[in-house]
Amino acid sequence: MSDFDRAESSVLDVIRLRGYLLEHGVHVHGELSAELIAGGRSNLTYRLADANQAWVLRRPPTAGVTPSAHDVGREYQVTAALQKTSVPVAATVLECDDRAVIGAPFTIVEFVHGRIFRSEADLALLSDDEVASLHRELIRVLAELHAVSYREIGLGDLGRPEGFAARQVKRWRQQWDHVATRDAPDVDRLYNVLATRSWRAAEATIVHGDYRVDNALIDVQRASHMLALVDWEMSTIGDPLTDVAMMCAYQHRSFDFVVGDRAASTSDRWPGIDMIANDYSLASGRDLPGFHQYLALAYFKLAVIAEGIYSRYLAGAGTGPGFATSGQAVEGLLTAGVAIIGPP
């Protein structure tokens, strides 16, 4: 365990947390343990366990928090609303906004025992047919998510769908200003083009915001079956094509710097951008007009995310594979965005 992991693990007072769970109707059998299973890139994620069962606790990072990001309450709201839909999500347990318990708001869901395909080495465990099945399942779930009537499940107030893509352009430019660790001329070049383009009036859907293969927990026995889609912190109501574009943007080889290894999504065995876009169109019944703009926006967004991870690393809020190298992803992603969208 790294020094960072030890520090972040010590954030949780498991004795106080155990008492809080018992007070709120969660049955805890014996002592409660907590293990940090993800931290620094996004919200901190812990596996809680007692003698009989396990849960997942999510809370914001302890440093380098980006405005409007790391919203565990939003994650919980969306996950809870999706419980009775066909979209696979973890069962919700409780939400707490009382900072006195662990020093930050947090949420708890049931622990889902599934496989995560993060690296090319993970994909090597699958046959070509299983890789194709995994891709089809991701496409199927994304189409299912976008087909959910968000008003009917109580998410009518989650976001502002009008002008969503144009606001995303401005939002991620503002995020860059907050996290930037260097001058990057392509930020202005890409932003200036994106900001002057017209965006379609899209049919609003639930948007995951960070849709990719390693945000899916997959059945240990069947690569064709997703058990739960996780990491909903950037979810909202908006244009569904932004999800499709993000799934495609994660294919850029620069994403390897963020993972700290050859990523599953950049593997030569993973379907290409054209196949992802076409398969989604067929599964959802949606056309993808102006998709190159959405892809350019996705590269812009991913570049800012990579810079934010690197910024938190410099602030001492992250160690491990990908943290020290994530900044190297920025230039390639911005260049890809400028190249695909062209001049104003």
Hey, what long-range contacts does 267-270 have (CB within 8 A, 24 or more apart)?
267/120, 267/123, 269/120, 269/123, 269/128, 269/131, 270/123, 270/131, 270/135, 270/213
Domain shared by 76 and 187, yes or no = no
- The structure tokens 């914001």 sit at 60
Domain that holds residue 49: 3-110
Domain shared by 72 and 22, yes or no = yes
- Judge whether 91 lies within some domain: yes
Domain boundary among 52, 84, 110: 110
Domain shared by 56 and 147, yes or no = no
Query: CATH number of the domain that 16 lies in?
Result: 3.30.200.20
- Judge whether 116 lies within some domain: no
* Single-letter amino acid code for the residue at 322: G
Are residues 217 and 112 in contact, defined by beta-carbon separation less than 8 angstroms? yes
Structure tokens given for 87: 């979209």
**Is the model's pLDDT at 63 over the cut of 70?**
no
* Number of domains present in the structure of the chain: 2
Domain shared by 31 and 143, yes or no = no
Q: Reduce the DSSP state of residue 51 to 3 states and report it.
A: coil
Q: How many CB atoms lie within 10 A of CB 309?
A: 25
**Pairwise CA distance, residues 164 & 241, whole Å:** 11
Domain boundary among 110, 138, 156: 110
For the chain, the average pLDDT equals: 91
pLDDT digits (tens, 9 = 90+) for 104-163: 999 999 999 999 999 999 999 999 999 999 999 999 999 999 999 999 999 999 988 999
Helix, strand, coil shares, percent, the chain, to 5: 45, 15, 40
- Judge whether 115 lies within some domain: no
Domain shared by 125 and 91, yes or no = no
Model pTM greater than 0.85?
yes
Nearest to 324 by CA among 257, 261, 270: 257
pLDDT digits (tens, 9 = 90+) for 71-108: 788 999 999 999 999 999 999 999 999 999 999 999 99
Domain shared by 241 and 283, yes or no = yes
Query: CATH number of the domain that 317 lies in?
Result: 3.90.1200.10
Domain shared by 125 and 145, yes or no = yes
Domain shared by 49 and 136, yes or no = no
**Is the model's pLDDT at 201 over the cut of 70?**
yes
